[in-house]
Amino acid sequence: RISGERREAIAHRLMGPCRHSLDVIQCLKTVKEQRDDDKSFSTFRDRLHHLQ
């Protein structure tokens, strides 16, 4: 911090460790991951080509 510079304080929410069920974690997939999972590929090479 530069001396003389005043900034507004930032409030932080403190939380202890928490556990989530596997169902909740799996729901956090991105849209791209969900689109990619919907496609099925006959070979690993096809899948690899699609991902590049």
Measured CA to CA, the distance from residue 52 to residue 43 in angstroms comes to: 15
The CA distance from 52 to 44, in Å, is: 12
C-alpha gyration radius of the chain: 22
pLDDT digits (tens, 9 = 90+) for 1-40: 566 777 888 887 777 777 888 887 777 766 566 665 667 8
Q: What's this model's pTM, rounded to 2 decimal places?
A: 0.28
Statement: residue 52 has pLDDT above 70: yes
* Per-residue confidence (pLDDT) for residue 2, from 0 to 100: 63
> What was the pLDDT predicted at 3?
66
pLDDT at 35: 63
Q: Can you tell me the distance from the alpha carbon of 33 to that of 50, in angstroms, rounded to the nearest whole number?
A: 12
Higher pLDDT pick, 37 / 42: 42
